[in-house]
Copies of this chain bind each other. A is one copy, B any other.
Amino acid sequence: MSQTPSSAPASRGPADHNVRDQIVEAAGEHFSHYGYEKTTVSDLAKAIGFSKAYIYKFFDSKQAIGEAICAKTLCAIVAAVEEAVAGAATPTEKLRRMFKTLVSTGVSLFFNDRKLYDIAAYSAGEGWPSARAYCERIRQILTEIVREGRESGEFERKTPLDETVHAIDLVMQPYVNPLLLQYNLDVAEEAPAQLSNLVLRSLAP
């Protein structure tokens, strides 16, 4: 609907700087408490004891700050998924845990940190780089699992890898993408198990 920043990370000044971190921290708290819209850039400035103008030495726009927070939020989901996957023995189990953790973490974010969830959903809707990177990362994890399963002979190898991964990605998308997940909350409890089973059946050698 509005301008789509195709890929620019939209940040300025030194990439690692004390003040930049302060801004991100303050933004994290304010966005989480009051939401993205109700937080003004002046609020953030006041919180860290600088002027609003100084914030713009570090970020291109308010949206850029939003993206930073969004990226942090989505990274937390990825981390949870990675941990769950790492703790599984077989590719089959990895896929199950991946799907389950993805959904439960997302749902939990929805109910426990709704304001941050809304930013993530908005970000997904607008195709912000943070959301794109997240989807891309999920897909990578999925690819790794499928590859491993193929190598160990647990999964079939006839279908081209790309095609397999892409199809599973399409199946997961409604639960990965925060914009879509919120419309699927009513089946979020059962979907991971049901769909994991279906996907695993399709992966049988």
Contacts and interface: CB of A to CB of B under 8 A. Distances in A.
Q: Which of A125, A156, A167, A197 has the most CB of B within 10 A?
A: A167
Could you say which interface size class chain A belongs to? 20 to 34
B197 A199 contact: no
Interface string A191-205: 100110111011110
A163 B197 CA distance: 10
A194 B180 contact: no
Contact of A191 (B156, B164, B170, B191): B170
B183 A171 contact: no
A194 B163 contact: yes
A166 interface: yes
Contact of A202 (B184, B187, B198): B198
Interface string A171-187: 10110010110011001
Interface of A: 125, 156, 159, 163-164, 166-168, 170-171, 173-174, 177, 179-180, 183-184, 187, 191, 194-195, 197-199, 201-204
Given A167-B194, A171-B171, A199-B202, 10 more contacts: A159-B197, A159-B201, A168-B198, A170-B187, A171-B195, A173-B174, A173-B184, A180-B183, A202-B202, A204-B204
